[in-house]
Each structure stands twice: as C-alpha cells, then as structure tokens.
C-alpha cells in the first residue's frame, strides 16, 4: 500500500472509531508501518474523527517525533517485536474497558467470528498512560497476540494493515457488549 493510501486509511479508521464512540474527544491513537523502521502516527491532542492526511506524523521506530501521540512508545514496542506487523490501533471502548477494569477475563471465543477475528486476548497490567511502563507491560505479552486489554486504560489491536486492526477493535467491543449483556442472565457459557 502506498503512503497516501496508508494516510487515508488511518483517517478513515480514526473517523470510524470516533463515530462509534470507541474513542471520544482526543482519546486514542493509530499508526501504520510505512517501511522497515518507520511508521505514520496520529498527532497528540487531535480528535481522531477530524484527522486529515496532512496531520499524520512520520516517526522512526527508535525515537519519538515532535507532536506525535504520547502513547507512541507502546506502538513502537509492538512493531519492534513483530517485523510483520502492519498497524496498531489504541482506543478506549467502553464495554471492553469496563470488563478489564472490573478484573474480569473477556473470552475471545463467545462467537465463531470473534474467535477467528480476535484470537487470544492478552490482559495487560496497569501502567500510567504515556509512560515507558505501558510499552514494557504490553511487550511482556505473547508475541502472536493481536488483541490487548489494558487494565483501567482501554484496548489495543494490531493487524496486517489499519483496517484489519480497526475491524479487530470493533469486534472486541461487540464481544464485550455481548459478555456484559449476558451477565444479568447468568453469564456467558462456554460453547458446547
């Protein structure tokens, strides 16, 4: 995918996340690999639903560019440990964040579709957002994981490209909604 198409995909994903209220105000951040050691990332302090392609910031994997999201180190850690990774999406989906904040384990296999899309979900211990500790916590999870719930913080999904990671985030929230809806009815049961 050429750089212009990647820029457009990031802006589209930001708009979809914002419209679905998986992020509000200036929350969340997105990035996509554009070379072996470079990524495009969203800027800090901008509503992702209002992104334009010119706002995106090119950033190396080994340092932080001016104006980029404070969560960039988390993105960089994921790219460094998986050279085949194409994109990272970080959002604050309400139901998924509620589940992890309550200390509950969200099963990834509630539906056949969610099992295929999400894969195993890593539950990541709390670290103050924007600190190197977030990158350290997420780096301690299995390398083949694509879906992460961050305690008291939100979620991260990865993918081969931005839209793949976005679909994973949307599916994560849908599974969390199903999980929460099942609780008053006795809780979700394992498939048999």
At 76, list the tokens: 């960089």
Q: How many CB atoms within 10 Å of residue 72?
A: 24
Note the pLDDT tens digit of each residue in 51-81: 999 999 999 998 888 889 889 999 999 999 9
Note the pLDDT tens digit of each residue in 147-170: 999 999 999 999 999 999 999 999
Question: What's the confidence (pLDDT) of residue 1?
Answer: 67
**Mean pLDDT for back-to-back runs of 10 residues, the chain (192 residues):** 92 97 96 96 95 96 87 95 96 96 91 91 92 92 94 96 98 96 90 70
Question: What's the confidence (pLDDT) of residue 50?
Answer: 95
pTM of the predicted model as reported, rounded to 2 decimal places? 0.95
Question: What's the confidence (pLDDT) of residue 192?
Answer: 65
Q: Could you write out the DSSP letters of every residue in 110-123?
A: SSHHHHHHH-SEEE
Question: What's the confidence (pLDDT) of residue 108?
Answer: 86
| Domains, the chain | 3-185 (3.40.225.10)
* Cα-based angle 181, 18, 145 (whole degrees, multiple of 5): 65
């Amino acid at each position: 995918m050429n750089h212009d198409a990647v820029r457009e995909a990031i802006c589209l994903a930001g708009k979809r996340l914002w419209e679905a209220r998986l992020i509000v105000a200036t929350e969340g951040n997105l990035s996509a690999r554009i070379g072996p050691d470079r990524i495009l990332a969203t800027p800090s302090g901008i509503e992702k639903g209002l992104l334009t392609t010119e706002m995106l910031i090119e950033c190396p994997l080994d340092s932080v560019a001016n104006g980029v999201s404070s969560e960039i180190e988390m993105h960089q850690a994921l790219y460094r440990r998986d050279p085949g990774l194409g994109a990272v999406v970080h959002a604050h989906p309400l139901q998924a964040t509620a589940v992890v904040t309550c200390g509950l384990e969200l099963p990834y296999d509630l539906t056949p579709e969610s099992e295929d899309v999400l894969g195993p979900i890593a539950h990541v211990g709390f670290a103050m957002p924007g600190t190197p500790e977030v990158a350290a916590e997420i780096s301690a999870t299995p390398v083949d994981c694509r879906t992460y719930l961050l305690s008291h913080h939100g979620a991260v999904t990865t993918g081969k490209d931005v839209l793949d990671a976005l679909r994973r985030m949307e599916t994560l929230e849908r599974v969390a909604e199903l999980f929460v809806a099942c609780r008053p009815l006795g809780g979700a049961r394992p498939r048999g």
